[in-house]
Amino acid sequence: MSPVAPSSAETSEELFDKVIGVNFKGPFRLSAQIGQRMAAGDGGSIINVSSSGAIFPAPKFGPYAGAKAALNALTGVFAREFGPTVRVNTISAGPFLTDISEAWPEESRRSTRSAVGRPGKPEEIITTALYLASPASSYTTSSLVRVDGGLY
């Protein structure tokens, strides 16, 4: 959930709570419950999905950018709390051509301010998630992996 908010002063309490609930509180509660069980069992991998909006925040996205930045910080907290048997990492996704992109202006669906110069296709983020979920990333935890085409 990444709605455009009015100015910070005009962002309603309801919108703020909803954005924080979906983008921070939900992942916090889920990871707290499941991570503890994973650590007591055979371990595993928790993968948070954040956003380039936390790294490159923009006006009108304050609650969203703040929630995703908090999620990035939470990754390190849980990596230390549930390690060494549970690895906790974050994928910082840039612009991807998903259902939300249908509301973007045509130009934004064709090009981005990135090294690659275009938005990503959904299948281009899957390999990162597979890597983080697999034993191939056994020494990767508390990491933020940018999958954003080299946004600048």
Catalytic residues: 64
Tell me the two tokens of residue 122.
């959904």
C-alpha–C-alpha distance, residues 149 and 152, integer Å: 9
How far, in Å, are 82, 120, 147 from residue 115 at the CA level?
35, 12, 12
Pairing relationship of beta strands 44-51 and 86-93 according to DSSP bridges: parallel
Q: Which residues of 51-89 are buried (b: 16+ CB within 10 A; e: fewer)?
A: bbbbbeeeeebbbbbbbbbbbbebbbebbeebeeebbbb
Tell me the two tokens of residue 75.
């990754």
